[in-house]
Amino acid sequence: MKHYPPDAKWHEMADAGIIPQAGNAREYDVSGWRSEHPVRDAECCIQCLFCWVYCPDSSVIIKDEKVVAFDPVHCKGCGICAQVCPKQCITMEPGGEMPQE
Amino acid sequence: MGILQPLEGNMAVAEAMRQINPDVVAAYPITPSTEIVQTFATFVADGKVDTNYVAVESEHSAMSACTAAAAAGGRVMNATSANGLALMWEILYITASLRLPVMLTVVNRALSGNINIHCDHSDTMGARDAGWIQLYAENVQESYDNLIQAVAIGERMDVRLPVMSCLDGFLVSHSYELLEVEDDDAVREWVGPYKPNRPLLDIENPYTVGPLDLYDFYMEHKRSQWEAYPTAMQAVIEEGKRFGDAFGRHYGLMETVELDDADIAIVALGSAAGTAKDVVEQLRDQGVKAGLLKLRCFRPFPGEQIAAALAGRKAVCVMDRAASFGAGTGPLYHEIAAAMYGAGHAVPIQNIIYGLGGRMLRPEEIETVFRDLVQIAESGKVTETCKWLGVRE
Ligand code: SF4
Ligand code: SF4
């Protein structure tokens, strides 16, 4: 079984509370945990990648070694990226809604 | 064929560990269990075992390393006492929840304070809800036999639980006794090779162990763990019988002495039961119908079996070598009283707290307990539910 449905009974699951797959955290949508969301000013950004290094949820999306967006499904809105940005290009805006890119 | 050898409890346990030859031992020494890992470390240094011996910096690390090694797919053993067990606390629950059969010998010692290195059961009694199987040994032979059986019980595919094999600090751990040490090959064959259940080192089949588990699934996982304990109790019975068939010493959930027709009976764990046996025999010679229930398997708790064995007695005394502060009685009493009530047996039950911090339990004192039970049997009333024995008043 790839996923246990939300109404799975105790005897229908693997014992010891294991998840029979590895690395499936990416399938978990935590967008509802956010009360603020990061917004990056692309003009100001010097692509130092500090935000990418420090994001605890691997939610800074990189393309061709450049920051392009934040991951709207896994960003928890913690604000660490905004704190570590040396140019202060990231602002935490109120509300959990984030543009899906 | 086994051979008779004079060994201390700790050495006998180390000997059993040598014969079992675990993959990993991660230990931090603490009195009175130090000798076990110290002796075992010499076996490792002398190449007598294939074990990877990890010297860690605390008991918290010891049990963390043991749990991780078991998850990785190894047969894992360890030994500790009292404050060492307390420092393992957080991990104890995790080992059991992850259904990893780690074998831990606990040499029972008082949990501070004040600081004390001698025997009582406050350490393992405190850990009774952690999900580990707990077996208690009366003497050196049982300490050796129990550890060998613990491996077979905990590793059964339908059980997969960690086991604490308990023996009384100094009273058993440092007492020399002539015991039967079985042949290495016979023990290894009886225990069998370790079959890891989904080892984490099987990189072809990765899975997630110990993930965040919230209100939507946690309770189902705990319910599934709950299911393991009746099976584990059955395994204690079956492996005890299988051990007896192979080596001549049969074991079960409990041992009874003169209990069937007894009017009055004592329930005890560990070395106290050995002293009580002699007292029972003396009283029988005097025509007093005294009996003993020595509980071997405290977890899973065989409440129904205990209640059935004690039913029909006129008075019973439960001896606790640990106080449950604030509860008004000792922990063994709670469970036996609940089991008796649940089974509908209205037998008056006295509770005795004795032997804390290594306080000696003398046969004359056990005799006074039986004398009091005669009174209770006559009146049908317990005047003071919990009494302290051997304390200066
Ligand atoms: S707010 Fe936190 S989780 Fe979201 S991108 Fe920034 S550092 Fe990552
Ligand atoms: S830390 Fe700031 S400047 Fe550096 S890449 Fe991120 S947004 Fe750009």
Residue B241 shares a structural domain with residue B258? no
Residue B128 shares a structural domain with residue B221? yes
Residue B280 shares a structural domain with residue B156? no
- CB distance A58 to ligand 2 below 6 Å: no
Residue B293 shares a structural domain with residue B241? no
Q: What is the dihedral of CA B157, B159, B161, B166, to 10 degrees?
A: -120
pLDDT given for residue A25 in this prediction? 81
pLDDT given for residue A92 in this prediction? 97
Residue B238 shares a structural domain with residue B307? no
- CB distance A55 to ligand 2 below 6 Å: no
- Report the residue from A6, A16, A21 with minimal CB separation from B98: A16
Q: How far apart are CA A45 and CA B284, in angstroms?
A: 91
Residue B217 shares a structural domain with residue B258? no
- Give the amino acid at B188: R
| Structural domain of B373 | 254-388
pLDDT in tens, A38-80: 999 999 999 999 999 999 999 999 999 999 999 999 999 999 9
Q: How far apart are CA B81 and CA B239, in angstroms?
A: 26
pLDDT given for residue A100 in this prediction? 60
Residue B308 shares a structural domain with residue B191? no
Per-residue CA distances from B163 to A60, B130, B131, B156, B172 (Å): 46, 11, 9, 12, 19
Q: What is the dihedral of CA B130, B24, B247, B165, to 10 degrees?
A: -20
Residue B227 shares a structural domain with residue B278? no
- Ligand 2 atom with least separation from CA of A81: 1
Residue B186 shares a structural domain with residue B58? yes
pLDDT given for residue B158 in this prediction? 95
- Residue A101 binned pLDDT confidence (cut-offs 50, 70, 90): low
pLDDT in tens, B321-356: 999 999 999 999 999 999 999 999 999 999 999 999
Residue of A33, A55, A67, A98 with the most ligand 1 atoms within 8 Å of its CB, for mutation: A55
Residue B257, beta-bridge partner list: B292
Distance in Å, CA A38 to ligand 1 centroid:
7
**Regions of chain B where pLDDT drops below 70:** none
Residue of A62, A67, A76 with the most ligand 1 atoms within 8 Å of its CB, for mutation: A76
Q: How far apart are CA B307 and CA B328, in angstroms?
A: 22
pLDDT given for residue B226 in this prediction? 97
Nearest-Cα residue of chain B relative to residue A28: B212
pLDDT in tens, B86-112: 999 999 999 999 999 999 999 999 999
Q: What is the DSSP string of B43-54?
A: HHHTTSS--EEE
ipTM of model: 0.85
Contact (CB<8Å) A18/B208: yes
Residue B150 shares a structural domain with residue B229? yes
pLDDT given for residue A2 in this prediction? 63
Q: How far apart are CA B249 and CA B242, in angstroms?
A: 10
Assign residue B258 the CATH number of its domain. Answer: 3.40.50.920
Q: Is the residue at B376 inside a domain?
A: yes
B100 vs A contacts (CB less than 8 Å): 16
Distance in Å, CA A48 to ligand 2 centroid:
5
Assign residue B111 the CATH number of its domain. Answer: 3.40.50.970
Contact (CB<8Å) B210/A17: yes
- Give the amino acid at B104: L
Q: Is the residue at B393 inside a domain?
A: no
Residue B225 shares a structural domain with residue B289? no
Contact (CB<8Å) B160/A15: yes
- Residue A95 binned pLDDT confidence (cut-offs 50, 70, 90): very high
A38-95 maps to which CATH number?
3.30.70.20
- Report the residue from B97, B211, B216 with minimal CB separation from A6: B216
Q: Which is higher by pLDDT, A22 or A89?
A: A89
- Report the residue from B198, B206, B221 with minimal CB separation from A17: B221
pLDDT in tens, B172-183: 999 999 999 999
Residue B238 shares a structural domain with residue B298? no
Distance in Å, CA A77 to ligand 1 centroid:
5
The first and second tokens of residue B4, run together, are 């008779």
Q: Is the residue at B184 inside a domain?
A: yes
Number of domains composing chain B = 2
